[in-house]
Chains A and B, each alone.
Chain A
């Protein structure tokens, strides 16, 4: 069966530094991969999508890479701010389904 792993359950980063989160998957070749942000007690909010034929996608301070050979996506937040503290989830499409990793809780320390 398909498996999605986000390498860290929690990550502490100093304000102003770049936060890098990792998402690995097995047993599938998705057409695209997504990243979401979830704040406590709220539903996830879509951030970025990257397709299998794209190496990199950027949106403001966010950057996502997608390596289909390694079956890995990296999610970067540059110039991190305390307001970036949240749980970040990666998600894969499998047909009509979207399945999620467990997420990484990111804490940006002032």
Chain B
């Protein structure tokens, strides 16, 4: 069966520090991969998505970046965090061939920038 792992689960970072969140999927091939952010009082905002290795689409211009170095690995990064980067970050995958777009989410990473 397919599983998705996301880490770290929580982190507290100072403003201006770098960030790396990692997500891996097991049990499937060539998944579509997504990074969402959920800030307090706001909805689920799509940040990046990828339909294949090295293919990254950005939805929101900001100081974050994403990379997909392997088929089932998706990394969210920042060189310098801002206070506004605080939030609950969720990685998700879908079967690109299934045509339904059903998303399977990881457990999330809660980031607090101080």
Taking Cβ atoms with an 8 Å cutoff, the residues of A that contact B are 32, 34, 36, 41-46, 49, 89, 91, 93, 96-103
Contact = CB atoms under 8 A, between A and B. Distances in A.
Contacts of B104: 46
A45 B94 CA distance: 13
B32 A100 contact: no
A88 to B, nearest CB: 12
B108 A97 contact: no
B34 A98 contact: yes
Given A96-B32, A96-B96, A98-B34, A44 B43 contact: no
Contact of B49 (A36, A42, A97, A102): A97
Interface in B74-114: 88, 90, 92, 94, 96, 100-108, 110
Interface residues of B, number: 26
B101 A43 contact: no
Contacts, number: 56
A43 B91 CA distance: 9
The A interface is mostly helix, strand or loop, or mixed, namely strand
B53 interface: no
B102 A43 contact: no
30 contacts: A32-B101, A34-B102, A34-B103, A41-B108, A41-B110, A42-B108, A43-B90, A43-B105, A43-B107, A44-B103, A45-B105, A46-B104, A49-B101, A49-B102, A89-B43, A96-B49, A96-B51, A96-B57, A96-B96, A97-B46, A98-B46, A98-B94, A98-B101, A98-B103, A100-B36, A100-B43, A100-B44, A102-B42, A102-B43, A103-B43
Contacts of B32: 96
A93 B99 CA distance: 10
Contacts of B42: 102
